[in-house]
């Protein structure tokens, strides 16, 4: 690796603490910080490793407009899971969009079909995971190309809630795909591809083994179908090391293993990473409100919580936490629980963390917050969502998403 090559992972310790303190002071907290320069580096890493494959960005990982524009400019296409994501992708300038419809509501299909009719210049493919979705598209006179989402019976991921490849919710059962493929063609549609996805946060050897098995099964299916395909998309889910002691993925080895598992194909092999593109490009900044010693631990109350960053409460996910106090290195360490302001026991961002003795008004940074951070934020407990600031990679900073206010929360309720 040369000094010009993008590093495989950006750790929380690699962020400039003085810059983060300044951002917290200028924009207040809770605050998401997204570094577009790092997004570009991650895209470059993927393009280097998967040099012969079609690489799309799984938009659901982070739909902030500034980030979508960065990804599009860097050369990736868009993989979307909802009509709203399709619209965001189009608005951000993507010209190739794949919509993988998961039990799509009627309103989603109405919107996507209308968008396809209004923008014939956009290469839009709808990927269906049920026969009923095909029927619904026929009813709407959709005339574009179709792909099939396959349930290959192989799943992997960092948590059971994000393991999709063997979950019955997702995709057409493997052995029923040939019949659906025939029906699609008989109804006059252009069948252009197959799609499958093992799960999210694939990192360990067991996960990678499941990914290889999925790819191998999908390669066999693509070769056995009596239809020519343009692409075989074997999903994303490439994991990043959330724990500081974890090693990053050997992306070149994963790419080579994916190619080997797929075997010889007439269709183009494709992947759709989301987390890998944006996770380490984002941090969450939060301010200490209270410090409460208890017999069990020191409870550090901060102004970010499960409504700001849901992953710890929903998935028991680990995010590294760092004190940005300018004298942090001179303080004694304590064992702490970092907890938010939400009235729920689950509202904990980190347990049993060794941190410099915290004080009120200290600012903490929470790492790997660029994926499924702001994207999963909510207004539970009537808490406005945080602001997002964007670093453009040259030192310039701008607001990408304004901070919500209490008035924003009640704006749609009308006059009482």
* Residue pLDDT, tens place only, 50-68: 999 999 999 999 999 999 9
User: Residue 389 — φ and ψ, nearest 5°?
Assistant: -110, 150
When the pLDDT of each residue in the chain is averaged and rounded to a whole number, the result is 92
Whether 3 has a pLDDT exceeding 50, the answer reads: no
Residue 186, domain extent? 36-276
- Has residue 13 been placed in a domain? no
What's the per-residue H, E or C state across 10-52? CCHHHCCHHHHHHHHHHHCCCEEEEEHHHHHHHHHHHHHHCCC
Q: Do 122 and 157 belong to one domain? A: yes
Entry pTM? 0.94
pLDDT of residue 239: 87
- Has residue 396 been placed in a domain? yes
Reduced to 3 states (helix: H, G, I; strand: E, B; else coil), residue 397 is strand
Residue that terminates a domain, selected from 276, 291, 309: 276
Report whether 343 contacts 381 (CB < 8 A).
Answer: yes
Q: Is 142 annotated as a binding residue?
A: no
Distance in angstroms (rounded) separating the CA atoms of residues 374 and 394: 23
Residue that terminates a domain, selected from 252, 276, 300: 276
- Has residue 22 been placed in a domain? no
- Has residue 374 been placed in a domain? yes
Q: Is 301 annotated as a binding residue?
A: no
The winner for highest mean pLDDT among 147-161, 190-204, 276-290 is 276-290
Which strand (E) or helix (H) includes residue 67?
A: helix 65-74
Q: Do 225 and 322 belong to one domain? A: no
Q: Do 173 and 299 belong to one domain? A: no
Q: Is 380 annotated as a binding residue?
A: no
Distance in angstroms (rounded) separating the CA atoms of residues 152 and 140: 29
What's the per-residue H, E or C state across 330-361? HCCEEEEEEECCCCCCCCEEEEEEEEECCCCC
Q: Do 123 and 226 belong to one domain? A: yes
Whether 371 has a pLDDT exceeding 60, the answer reads: yes
Which strand (E) or helix (H) includes residue 66?
A: helix 65-74
Distance in angstroms (rounded) separating the CA atoms of residues 164 and 395: 39
Q: Do 45 and 170 belong to one domain? A: yes
| Separation of CA 10 from chain center | 17
- Has residue 196 been placed in a domain? yes
| pLDDT tens digits for range 267-294 | 999 999 999 999 999 999 999 999 999 9
| pLDDT tens digits for range 385-404 | 999 999 997 778 999 999 99
How many domains are there within the chain? Answer: 2
Q: Do 298 and 242 belong to one domain? A: no
Q: Is 121 annotated as a binding residue?
A: no
Distance in angstroms (rounded) separating the CA atoms of residues 267 and 148: 14
Distance in angstroms (rounded) separating the CA atoms of residues 365 and 367: 6
Q: Is 315 annotated as a binding residue?
A: yes
Distance in angstroms (rounded) separating the CA atoms of residues 398 and 406: 23
Q: Do 366 and 352 belong to one domain? A: yes
Q: Is 275 annotated as a binding residue?
A: yes
Q: Do 260 and 293 belong to one domain? A: no
Q: Do 288 and 360 belong to one domain? A: yes
Report whether 242 contacts 200 (CB < 8 A).
Answer: no
The catalytic residues are 343
């Amino acid at each position: 690796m040369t000094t010009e090559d993008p590093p495989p992972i950006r750790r929380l310790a690699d962020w400039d603490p003085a810059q983060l303190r300044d951002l917290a002071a200028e924009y207040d907290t809770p605050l998401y910080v997204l570094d577009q320069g790092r997004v570009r580096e991650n895209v470059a890493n993927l393009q280097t490793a998967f040099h012969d494959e079609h690489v799309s960005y799984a938009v659901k990982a982070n739909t902030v407009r500034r980030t979508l524009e960065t990804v599009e400019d860097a050369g990736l296409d868009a993989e979307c899971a909802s009509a709203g994501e399709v619209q965001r992708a189009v608005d951000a300038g993507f010209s190739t969009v794949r919509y993988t419809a998961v039990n799509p509501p009627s309103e989603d299909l109405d919107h996507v079909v209308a968008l396809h009719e209004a923008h014939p210049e956009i290469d839009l493919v709808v990927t269906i995971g049920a026969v009923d979705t095909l029927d619904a598209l026929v009813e709407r006179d959709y005339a574009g190309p179709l792909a099939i989402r396959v349930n290959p019976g192989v799943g992997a991921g960092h948590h059971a809630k994000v393991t999709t490849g063997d979950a019955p919710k997702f995709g057409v059962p493997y052995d029923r795909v040939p019949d659906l493929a025939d029906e699609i063609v008989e109804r006059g549609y252009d069948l252009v591809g197959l799609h499958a996805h093992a799960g999210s946060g694939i990192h360990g050897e067991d996960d990678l083994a499941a990914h290889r098995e999925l790819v191998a099964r999908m390669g066999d299916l693509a070769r056995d179908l009596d239809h020519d395909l343009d692409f075989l998309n074997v999903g994303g889910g490439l994991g990043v090391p959330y724990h500081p002691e974890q090693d990053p993925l050997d992306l070149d080895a994963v790419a080579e293993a994916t190619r080997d598992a797929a075997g010889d194909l007439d269709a183009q092999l494709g992947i759709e990473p989301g987390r890998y593109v944006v996770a380490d490009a984002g941090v969450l900044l939060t301010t200490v409100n209270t410090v409460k010693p208890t017999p069990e631990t020191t409870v550090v109350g901060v102004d970010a919580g499960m409504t700001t960053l849901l992953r710890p409460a929903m998935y028991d996910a680990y995010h590294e936490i760092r004190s940005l106090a300018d004298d942090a290195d001179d303080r004694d360490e304590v064992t702490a629980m970092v907890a938010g302001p939400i009235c729920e026991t689950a509202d904990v961002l980190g347990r049993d963390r060794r941190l410099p003795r915290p004080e009120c008004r200290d600012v903490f940074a929470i790492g790997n917050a660029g994926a499924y951070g702001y994207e999963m934020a909510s207004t539970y407990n009537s808490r406005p969502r945080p602001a997002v600031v964007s670093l453009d990679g040259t030192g310039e900073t701008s607001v990408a998403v304004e901070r919500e206010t209490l008035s924003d929360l009640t704006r749609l309720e009308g006059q009482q």
